[in-house]
Structure 1
């Protein structure tokens, strides 16, 4: 019966997972621990070094390839793994109850054998024979089990056994180990303490204090590893984002090439094929570079995980004396986080494009663009007070058909233009006083082409023909101790949730289309001159013109990033801001005597590069449905096209 019990699933798991040497695949014989915390038979280690250079004083772990110095006294002086030896002894000595001529009254749930004497683990509510219960208790570390026999008679709970049993000193075999010398990193007895460790520079402490200190040090090291894991995740997410953008840009470039090829198919097929191959090659080369960095980061993380797994296994199974014996090696292995640095990628390498030439020859279809650049496609309007003229273009927005609406904050007017810059209308068609603009600042357009304008304390709503519909007030009426509200930036997302910024109260309010409030976010960096945008990632991005900052918060008000804006070492006032479909951020900047241009940031706030220059005094800007960029440039409007 005992032999049957030994072949249960539980005992097989012990034999294969815990007590077999990875070299000989047999039960451990005199197991020894290497510096990497892997264990092997002494005989197997001896055979291993017999095959290597006899002058070598190190042994290489066959599992992880880490090196361990061979002690002067030989491999036998390596630390023994008492836990494995004890576990092997328990498995070997397992014996089941003797067979009885009487029929069994119950069945063991570990080995499925019918047994007369079956005990029940109340903690787990499972019936076991004596043999399986012994194995179960050792694997699960259940030291306090109340045992009830099969007919319901309760046995006494076994007395609690101290996890730490006194061990004898190796040097003074009649003395128990009672101190730990932090200076020598050794367990010592009373005689050792008196004769060998009594110098003033030896730091002796009681074993229980040293155990607490050791576990605390391991916990701190593991916490640092958690920070490394978070850093790895952040870098890995950034790389994935770059890969997605790269693939989008590669696909877009290929489509442009094919479109140009179709126009001049008879003359440019060969040139088109060469360009496609080159774009694909560039994409593959950069993609391989991204994958190489990502693979390197994964390898570093994998090695770190292996070390942590070994340490966690040791912390779970080793007794206190063994833990202190292994403390120097454990802490040495946990020092890896100091050198765990993850590589990043240049986000600018995600861009690739194509620019077709106006005059196409058989060998010259166009050129491949390996850096993101924008150029002015259309410019319209000028300074003045006539039709289609502006005193001060504060902000712009775009309808679904590509037509543009522009706000003139000096003349308190809205104007509309075609996508090619042709003037359509000026003013607002309103028969009431409410529809007139008094302090217009920001403008945006919803998915169904409703025009929203911030005007003093109110948001006013117009249709595509600029006919007044309604208005709502995001902030409450002024009460004692509060400032009067003054609305500035406004933006909508794809779900037509409206974000409105109040520079006096320093709040951003999020609304439904009917004006009802969703949430209110307070932030000290909301200033009088700034713009606001809502990204596809449910984040609010705004510029602090006066303090030269770019700020991002989520819909709950949690700050994602808050960065100072400087270009080439010069502080820059960022004003206009908008986001593309991927969540990347574009901002327009101003620096006296310096053309700071339009700059591209990724969704985490990392600067990618300057994508356009040549504008005067950048104000609000928005993306068109076709991906162009409309910019209010003080006295004119410019539409930029990505090359």
Structure 2
């Protein structure tokens, strides 16, 4: 990375922190700023002058609310791995653990979307495993109602959640979410479509979570670019929250704020070819986390950065204080994929401001689940359980 690029990483961080409360202002600011910054050729005086136009200087981010931020960091625990779970042992022998949930009993449920993949990497079938709190396997969810009528069979399961009364919910990559009882027996399925929606449209229930206050179930529809809200008792559709991008993971807190981790595929050519081309094309092609209220109004946007490199967000989960954990990895711009063995868990406050990194050393963290003094992470080839230090 050359010196100008490094300076611009710093500039992007300042702009992001100062303007993240209003993403629309952030977009406009960097578009205007990037046109001028490429003409500077790394000149420090010009860079400082440009920053002063935003009412900032290059040391601004280090001075602002330093004591408050330090107190906030101290209040948030760092998490230490207490358990690693593989299919048969602690080996990394799952193929693609994408979703994970913590049962009220303390059991850990995870979904391997490509279980039984063969040696030639032909895709397997999704399967949900449930483990005791000590990591010993308890059972596999019954994925068929009977051999004659396999209505409970998983098709393309990727997300999992647990209701307040202990039922397992699996977002199955179709219009349906499948429901299993606490013993793993298939009960029913419910649709994410309203009656007036054409049944032939492309749709995909990619992720699912539960509002612990109301019991409502929220499902992210990847292809329709929305989150559906369902009654917690009969799973009937209550409303749709249009988020405008493809949800990969979803979380909700006690204030009914919905955090959605999103995939984006807009053309990168919409931004001028300079450093901000890279930053903003990452926002479109890589991913971001956006928080909404139940009305669909945007509250804040998180575009994570790890050091001086772009980061790709995957899983999200709220704690009881409405703080948000985000699973991130470093990001390869050319492949649009994560860089394995670079996984972190970042913590943001209820306003979407970065507080601290709470865990490192993960392979490729995807979904997350939270329980009492417990954070469970689907780490692609295994599951990891963290407890506060």
Range class of TM-score, shorter chain: 0.5 to 0.7
Q: 1:629 aligns with which of 368, 375, 385?
A: 375
| Residue in 1 that maps onto 2:387 | 641
1:457 aligns with 2:175: yes
Residue 551 of structure 1 deviates from its aligned partner by 0.4
| Residue in 2 that maps onto 1:434 | 151
- The separation in 2 between residues aligned to 1:537 and 1:574, in whole angstroms, is 23
| Residue in 2 that maps onto 1:609 | 356
| Residue in 2 that maps onto 1:523 | 243
Residue 619 of structure 1 deviates from its aligned partner by 1.1
Write out per-residue CA displacement over residues 64-89 of structure 1, whole angstroms, 9 at most, x where no aligned residue.
xxxxxxxxxxxxxxxxxxxxxxxxxx
Q: Against the structure 1 CA distance between its residues 598 and 555, is the aligned structure 2 distance closer, same or farther, given a 3 Å change threshold? A: same
| Residue in 1 that maps onto 2:320 | 581
Residue 594 of structure 1 deviates from its aligned partner by 6.7
Write out per-residue CA displacement over residues 180-209 of structure 1, whole angstroms, 9 at most, x where no aligned residue.
xxxxxxxxxxxxxxxxxxxxxxxxxxxxxx
| Residue in 1 that maps onto 2:281 | none
- What RMSD, in angstroms, separates the aligned Cα atoms of the two structures? 2.9
Greater strand content: 2
Moved more, 513-522 or 532-541: 513-522
Q: Which has the higher contact order (CA 8 A, sep 6+)?
A: 2
| Residue in 2 that maps onto 1:416 | 130
Q: 1:446 aligns with which of 163, 167, 176?
A: 163
Matched residue SS, 1:347? helix
Residue 480 of structure 1 deviates from its aligned partner by 6.5
Matched residue SS, 1:484? coil
TM-score, normalised with respect to structure 1: 0.41
Q: How does 1:74-89 map to 2 (within 5 A)?
A: none
Q: Which has the larger radius of gyration?
A: 1
- The separation in 1 between residues aligned to 2:171 and 2:161, in whole angstroms, is 9
**Contact persistence 2:141–2:185 (CA under 8 A):** no
Q: Against the structure 1 CA distance between its residues 531 and 427, is the aligned structure 2 distance closer, same or farther, given a 3 Å change threshold? A: same
- The separation in 1 between residues aligned to 2:163 and 2:70, in whole angstroms, is 31
Unaligned runs of 5+ in 2: 1-17, 22-54, 116-125, 264-284, 331-338
Write out per-residue CA displacement over residues 91-130 of structure 1, whole angstroms, 9 at most, x where no aligned residue.
xxxxxxxxxxxxxxxxxxxxxxxxxxxxxxxxxxxxxxxx
- The separation in 2 between residues aligned to 1:547 and 1:481, in whole angstroms, is 30
Residue 460 of structure 1 deviates from its aligned partner by 0.7
Q: How does 1:191-206 map to 2 (within 5 A)?
A: none
| Residue in 2 that maps onto 1:350 | 72
- The separation in 1 between residues aligned to 2:188 and 2:354, in whole angstroms, is 40
Residue 489 of structure 1 deviates from its aligned partner by 1.2
Residue 563 of structure 1 deviates from its aligned partner by 2.9
1:468 aligns with 2:220: no
Q: 2:106 aligns with which of 381, 397, 402?
A: 402
Matched residue SS, 2:71? helix
Matched residue SS, 2:356? strand
| Residue in 2 that maps onto 1:550 | 289
Residue 482 of structure 1 deviates from its aligned partner by 7.6
TM-score, normalised with respect to structure 2: 0.67
| Residue in 2 that maps onto 1:324 | none
Residue 609 of structure 1 deviates from its aligned partner by 1.3
Q: Against the structure 1 CA distance between its residues 480 and 490, is the aligned structure 2 distance closer, same or farther, given a 3 Å change threshold? A: closer
- The separation in 2 between residues aligned to 1:642 and 1:598, in whole angstroms, is 13
Residue 595 of structure 1 deviates from its aligned partner by 1.9
- The separation in 2 between residues aligned to 1:482 and 1:435, in whole angstroms, is 21
